[in-house]
Structure 1
Amino acid sequence: MPNLSILRPSALAFCLVLAVAAPQADAAKRRKPAAPAPKATPAPTACSDFHLFANADWLKANPVPAEGGVSALGQLAERSLQQQRQLLDDAAKSPQNGIQKLLGDFWASGLDEAAVERDGAAPIAPLLARIGAIKKPQDVAPAIAALHQVGIPVAFNFTADLDLKQLDTYFGYFAQGGLGLPDASFYTRTDADARALLGRYNGHVQKILALSGTPQAKLAGEAQLVIDLETRIARMSKTQDALRGLRANYNPVPTKDFAKKYRNLQLAAFLKAQGVNAEQVSMADPALFAQLDKLAGSLKPAQWQAYLRFHVGNTMAPYLSKNWREVDHDFRGKLLRGEDEPAPRWKQVLDAINASAGAMVAREYVARHLPDATRERADAIARSVKEALGTAIDRNTWMDAPTKIEARAKLDRVKIEIGAPRSDLDFTAQPMGRGSFGGNILIASTWHHREEMKRIGRANADRRWDVLPQYPALGYDLAHNRLFVSAALLQPPVLDMQQPLAAQYGGFGAVVGHELSSVVDASGRRVDASETLRDWWSADTATAWNARTAPLAAFYGRLAYPGNPTLKIDGARVLEQSVADLAGLELAWAAYEKAEPQAKAADQQPFFRGWSRLWTQQLSAQAAAAHAAGSPYPPGHWRSNGPLMQLSAFGSVFGCKAGSAMLLPEAERVSIWR
């Protein structure tokens, strides 16, 4: 979209010149005096609209799209995908180590669509044969266990996650699952929409079964068997609302009686097959598993065969030949995810590799894209922001003394991890060839499942992250009291090593501050310094916090979306993130002032440009409406300007006078850590 504030003055000047250059006395006598021409909209300045002022070039180069949106951070995410793509291209052409050989063959097998077509359904043939060998109820449980081993969870879910009583340890979690639709309610609701979806799902089940080898004459009957079994599971399952909350899925139970208690599901043998030897696991809903145990022993093997064959085909369809992929996209892509067209083939393959072997990609990505100098700079900035938070805790007035003591103790124990997690993975895996992409998916997902199961019962939960280093990410891990920064994030616009230190603090330092503030704020109050789940804030501190932050909700609630004054920001919904943005800027500014105490105003200005550069964004009308309806963040324009308007330092650095749009009256400004 053209910058109208720049185009308007020249256009108006041209019209005025014409009027003056061609005066007609007679005409002037006959006409009423012309109304004064409207004044041109002045170009934005730092003190009138910093976001437009600082990002004029980016906004001009990235006009508002007809649909969707574009943002600087979105462009960073896209760049990271291209970096991964190049890494895998190079690994396929000239691997330099064993992991690159695995990845290169995996990548090449996915891009060779002719080979994928020739392979057809061959990758799942052994799994289908195993299911076909089920003859009696006792054969069902071993088949379920075998599918879990290759990363195809059926009947229920079993995963590794944190033990809420010992947050440094992983626990095994038995939980509900085994459905082809995303929510159990779709099977039990009686409204027209749910019934229509179930009807479409029936057609999808038939198509997958047909590709899996079910004769045409049996398709309708077998599809009904699948949906009947899934409906039984759905009726026994809890609602999504009932599963919300930290402890909703946590219920430790001993495993010593599993062989007797779950004779048909054979859960003791199931755990052994997954390589898990634990005295306790979590089973949030024992009644569900008691019912599943009955179903395993009472339903005819043919029904379980239809169900298991469908789930193998449904899970693997995106990785098989085109006819499988088209069936998958028609239902899950178009209907469930709202995708008009499939992603480009290379993105499909990259997503598949990251889902099943993302840790392998991470190791090679970090080695290639995170120089030591960048890692060291990021670590130094993060530690200086952490130090600034310690000073802010000591001097703040809204925490009482006992709360401050716990806050300092917790902050002192914060771990900062830059680039990638400490890893205890065993990267040995079955060799991958270039002839079977689906086969490689099963090899990689088997490896991934094996490594996940190894976590259970081990006191090293802080060795891994829940995000992959090759994706731009920064976050605070509440359970393990650590800040993690992914390798992919440490590049422009977040951390630009070509920019002055001030810009690095304003960009990277401020987002670090955003997350570090969560160590001790209303989010961090849920876990104490010893990594125990408890609220360590006093009632007085909570009251003071709410009084201090509430005006920020009112401030954002008065702001309209750029280009659409009818759309207002939901101040309450964006409050948490807006508080963290302001806190992050305050802490980063304090850290920067200490790093460059002699800096002049001109040298300090890049700090605020570094912040604003992060939030450049252009949204179509439709995307803006969707953002306004549900996003926990303000739109980029106000995410950039909003916190700056609270900071007196901003006004001082740019010489903004009282009454400037970018400088709120002192009585209206909100502060968190100043």
Structure 2
Amino acid sequence: MKQRLFKPLALAVGLAVASYGHAAVELTRGIDVKQFDKKLNPCGDFFGYVNGNWIRANAIPGDRSTWGSFEQLDEASLAATHDIAEAAAKDLASAKPGSIESKIGAFYKSGMDEAAANKAGVAPIADTLKRIDGLKTPEEIAAFLHDAHAQGRAQLFNFGGEADFKNSTMQIAYAFQGGLALPERAYYLEDGKDGSYKKIRDAYVAHVAKVLELAGTDKAAAAAQAGKVLAFEKRLAEASLAPVELRSPENQYHYVTVEEAQKQNPRFGWNKFLASQNLDIKGFSLSQPKFFAAVDAMLADVPAADWQAYLRAHVIDGASPYLSDALVEENFNFYSKTLRGQQENRPRWKRVIDTVEESMGMAMGQLYVDKNFPPEAKKRAQELVDNLRAATKERIEKLEWMGADTKKKALDKWASFTPKIGYPDEWRDWSGLAVKPEGYFANVSAAAKFNHDWDMAKIGKPVDKKEWGMTPQTVNAYYNPLKNEIVFPAAILQPPFFDAKADDALNYGGIGAVIGHEMMHGYDDEGSKFDATGNLADWWTKEDRTKFEERTARLVKQFDDYVAIDGLHVKGQLTLGENIADLGGLSVSYDAFKLAQARDNKNSKEQIDGLLPDQRFFINFAQVWRRNFRPEELKRRLNVDPHAPAQFRAIGAPSNMHQFAEAFSCKAGDAMVRSGDKLVKIW
């Protein structure tokens, strides 16, 4: 399972009508009171009250593991990019040579040629498998790993560029733990509740044996090798950090000189590795030293045959989505059906669009924006950002628990926030990527190397602050502490999050809460460790940090107490950053909503559909988080997702706000009214 390097702190994870198969998916515009379950009390189960009827009426489609507001918007984005790709493929003959339209059209056309993929079988990876068969020594294994990374096909660990945590103006390289096919280390080292992890391990071994067979290994040998793959990954897991540990910036950054890295991992050979990536640098972040020490030891004491089994299985698994139907189906059966509960594979066109997005996402975004994002949407969103910024400043200034010195630094950070809305000001150049209308896997491989080389070329140079970490067609938003920026792609600036024609209550309860959420990531348990310039630096007094951690501990306890499924609780420490951002973001957005009402002389008692403005504000917030989960997917997310399940995000922040209790006439003792030492107020 490939793990990204440093992850921007994102909102989630998903056009009034979106195409879905042969049907149409209607997105919520405004508030539909028919979706309320009025048998429930909003002060007891606010999520159920707002979304109960919708949840019961909207089964998860067969090719999804979740279904809700994000997924509906994702289908809209998918339909829009599908139209672009189809048109580009149809117009290939007349397209300007070398244009992004011609590349996207050719890529999509190659992916849709199912017959060619079936005819080729495993031929596209035959040379790689043959090389693996010949690996005998630690030096040969290390060289293979070096070359795999140089081709953009990372094996065993992840390596890429990001801003230096201690000097955010410069791009450096990061080596990051990886190499595990299962979601995280616990799946290898524990049996899990009711033996669930053990069942998944057994299914994984069966899966590995099957893909090895499909690639030509005889059945007995495949079964034996599959057991070796699990043992190999178990050892990697023992040396890996858990997801909650990886949330700490200190566990993401460990700068060493190249000479120091070479001494720590002499068998792997960082000198040769860096040369293979065309890098001439003095140092980099060896982010999890324990993991890389284990890899170096394994080069010495793990038999070459076991390394071959591991590399063989991962090469086939990595290529399977782009090869024959048999391999595609086996890949789906384990990674989507077993791990996530998805009932059927997505139609080929959706899978191909996903691959084009992964390979040329910003090129697709350039075409998407031209057709799907009107300038007035960006203008209105900018107004909301400005209002949220003002409300955030005022809220920080009025904090009673924070001392003057820390508060000044917090305001310095506020002043340097950079918002990005819709799409980049400058588009990436794709002129060096050659794509052909035939040879799907060859195109995937070419794009992987092109993107890797592009990433490597930035290392050792100043950070490009104009660059985006998400494409415009992505239904999400993020905060990047290394740039101190908040980013809102075009695709999320639609109902139910944002509607230029809607009343303020809806927009502030929707996109306003999103904007506030991303701003408050700058002050969560991770983001608060980075200063106004984006450097990992302690700008807090010891006393204020202690007060902050006392408050966040209450939020950890609040979410620890939520039971998601089958007695499994939400992990409050894993989800802490997102929960801080939700609570602070909703509070800030409410303040901005009130400021907007006062500025525009709006009647705070005016009703729409029988609902007061404050009620509509909180209802749209809960409506945004409506979502159904398949049990397998929900259990997986509890282990690896830093976001709490949607139903708890809908109630977690409002239950700590007296404005919610007042809006719905809730009383002390109601589930949605937290008080005493259970009440959480941070920002």
The CA deviation string for residues 336-358 of structure 1, in whole angstroms up to 9 with x for no partner, is: 33333323323322332333332
Q: Which residue does the alignment assign to 1:76?
A: 73
Cα 1:225–1:371 shift into 2, 3 Å: same
1:246 deviation in Å? 1.5
Alignment of structure 1 residues 646-665 onto 2, 5 Å: 646=659
Partners of 1:502 and 1:149 lie apart in 2 by 51
Q: Which amino acid aligns with 2:456?
A: M
1:460 deviation in Å? 0.8
The CA deviation string for residues 540-572 of structure 1, in whole angstroms up to 9 with x for no partner, is: 6567768989999999999999xx9x9999999
Cα 1:623–1:593 shift into 2, 3 Å: farther
TM superposition score normalised by structure 2 = 0.75
Paired residues of 2:529 and 2:539 also in contact (CA < 8 A): yes
Cα 1:354–1:555 shift into 2, 3 Å: closer
Q: Which residue does the alignment assign to 1:112?
A: 113
Q: Which residue does the alignment assign to 2:502?
A: 499
- Structure 1 counterpart SS, 2:471: coil
Q: Which residue does the alignment assign to 1:103?
A: 104
Which residue among 83, 87, 101 is the counterpart of 2:84?
87
Partners of 1:554 and 1:257 lie apart in 2 by 41
Corresponding position: 1:593 with 2:597: yes
The CA deviation string for residues 245-284 of structure 1, in whole angstroms up to 9 with x for no partner, is: 2222432222257778866534322212223221101224
Partners of 2:634 and 2:212 lie apart in 1 by 37
Q: Which residue does the alignment assign to 1:311?
A: 314
Partners of 2:572 and 2:279 lie apart in 1 by 47
Higher alpha-carbon deviation: 545-554 or 173-182? 545-554
1:620 deviation in Å? 6.6
Partners of 1:48 and 1:135 lie apart in 2 by 64
Which residue among 407, 410, 427 is the counterpart of 1:407?
410
Which residue among 477, 482, 492 is the counterpart of 1:479?
482
Q: Which amino acid aligns with 2:415?
A: D
1:47 deviation in Å? 11
Cα 1:383–1:263 shift into 2, 3 Å: same
Which residue among 322, 343, 346 is the counterpart of 1:343?
346
**What is the number of residues matched between the two proteins?**
627
1:177 deviation in Å? 3.3
Aligned-residue sequence identity (percent) comes to: 27
The CA deviation string for residues 179-221 of structure 1, in whole angstroms up to 9 with x for no partner, is: 4444456666699876665554444333323333335575455
Q: Which residue does the alignment assign to 1:356?
A: 359
Partners of 2:460 and 2:153 lie apart in 1 by 22
Higher alpha-carbon deviation: 198-207 or 236-245? 236-245
The CA deviation string for residues 99-147 of structure 1, in whole angstroms up to 9 with x for no partner, is: 1221222222223322322232232234334445657664433322222
Corresponding position: 1:602 with 2:603: no
Say which one has the larger Rg. 1
Partners of 2:39 and 2:182 lie apart in 1 by 53
Paired residues of 1:586 and 1:673 also in contact (CA < 8 A): no
Paired residues of 1:49 and 1:641 also in contact (CA < 8 A): no
> Larger relative CO (CA 8 A, sep 6+): 1 or 2?
2
Q: Which amino acid aligns with 2:380?
A: R
- Structure 1 counterpart SS, 2:119: helix
Q: Which residue does the alignment assign to 1:165?
A: 166
Q: Which amino acid aligns with 1:348?
A: R
Partners of 1:159 and 1:121 lie apart in 2 by 28
Which residue among 582, 603, 613 is the counterpart of 2:620?
613
Alignment of structure 1 residues 280-429 onto 2, 5 Å: 280-284=283-287, 289=292, 292-293=295-296, 296=299, 304-421=307-424, 425-429=428-432
Q: Which residue does the alignment assign to 2:13?
A: none
Partners of 1:142 and 1:6 lie apart in 2 by 62
- Structure 1 counterpart SS, 2:536: coil
Partners of 2:561 and 2:177 lie apart in 1 by 44
Cα 1:240–1:600 shift into 2, 3 Å: closer
The CA deviation string for residues 427-465 of structure 1, in whole angstroms up to 9 with x for no partner, is: 234432233222222122222222222332232164444
Higher alpha-carbon deviation: 205-214 or 294-303? 294-303
Partners of 2:667 and 2:208 lie apart in 1 by 67
1:581 deviation in Å? 4.5
Paired residues of 1:585 and 1:643 also in contact (CA < 8 A): no
Q: Which residue does the alignment assign to 1:453?
A: 456
The CA deviation string for residues 208-243 of structure 1, in whole angstroms up to 9 with x for no partner, is: 233333355754555566556555655655666765
Please provide the CA RMSD for this pair.
Answer: 5.0
Paired residues of 2:185 and 2:242 also in contact (CA < 8 A): yes
**Runs (5+) with no aligned partner, structure 2:** 1-32, 639-643
TM superposition score normalised by structure 1 = 0.76
Partners of 1:293 and 1:319 lie apart in 2 by 32
Q: Which residue does the alignment assign to 1:121?
A: 122
Partners of 1:48 and 1:226 lie apart in 2 by 49
Partners of 2:149 and 2:316 lie apart in 1 by 14
Partners of 2:264 and 2:675 lie apart in 1 by 67
Cα 1:101–1:608 shift into 2, 3 Å: farther
Partners of 1:662 and 1:417 lie apart in 2 by 38
Paired residues of 1:556 and 1:571 also in contact (CA < 8 A): yes
The CA deviation string for residues 503-532 of structure 1, in whole angstroms up to 9 with x for no partner, is: 434432333223324444666532222433
1:485 deviation in Å? 0.8
Cα 1:447–1:116 shift into 2, 3 Å: same
Partners of 1:624 and 1:327 lie apart in 2 by 18
Partners of 1:292 and 1:558 lie apart in 2 by 38
Cα 1:647–1:554 shift into 2, 3 Å: farther
- Structure 2 counterpart SS, 1:80: helix
Q: Which amino acid aligns with 2:485?
A: R
Partners of 1:257 and 1:543 lie apart in 2 by 35
Paired residues of 1:615 and 1:640 also in contact (CA < 8 A): no
Q: Which amino acid aligns with 1:584?
A: V
Partners of 2:141 and 2:259 lie apart in 1 by 22
1:493 deviation in Å? 1.6
The CA deviation string for residues 16-73 of structure 1, in whole angstroms up to 9 with x for no partner, is: xxxxxxxxxxxxxxxxxxxxxxxxx9999999999999x7xx8767744467875434
Which residue among 568, 584, 597 is the counterpart of 2:588?
584
Paired residues of 2:117 and 2:323 also in contact (CA < 8 A): yes
Q: Which amino acid aligns with 1:309?
A: R
Q: Which residue does the alignment assign to 1:34?
A: none
Higher alpha-carbon deviation: 129-138 or 204-213? 129-138
- Structure 1 counterpart SS, 2:250: coil
Partners of 1:113 and 1:382 lie apart in 2 by 46
- Structure 1 counterpart SS, 2:169: strand
Partners of 1:624 and 1:228 lie apart in 2 by 24
The CA deviation string for residues 76-115 of structure 1, in whole angstroms up to 9 with x for no partner, is: 2332222222222222223666112212222222233223
Q: Which amino acid aligns with 1:440?
A: N
1:488 deviation in Å? 0.7
**Runs (5+) with no aligned partner, structure 1:** 8-40
1:379 deviation in Å? 1.3
Q: Which amino acid aligns with 1:532?
A: N
Paired residues of 1:120 and 1:321 also in contact (CA < 8 A): yes
Q: Which residue does the alignment assign to 1:16?
A: none
Q: Which residue does the alignment assign to 1:145?
A: 146
Higher alpha-carbon deviation: 309-318 or 662-671? 662-671
- Structure 2 counterpart SS, 1:533: coil
Partners of 1:76 and 1:46 lie apart in 2 by 26
Q: Which amino acid aligns with 1:468?
A: T
Q: Which residue does the alignment assign to 1:38?
A: none
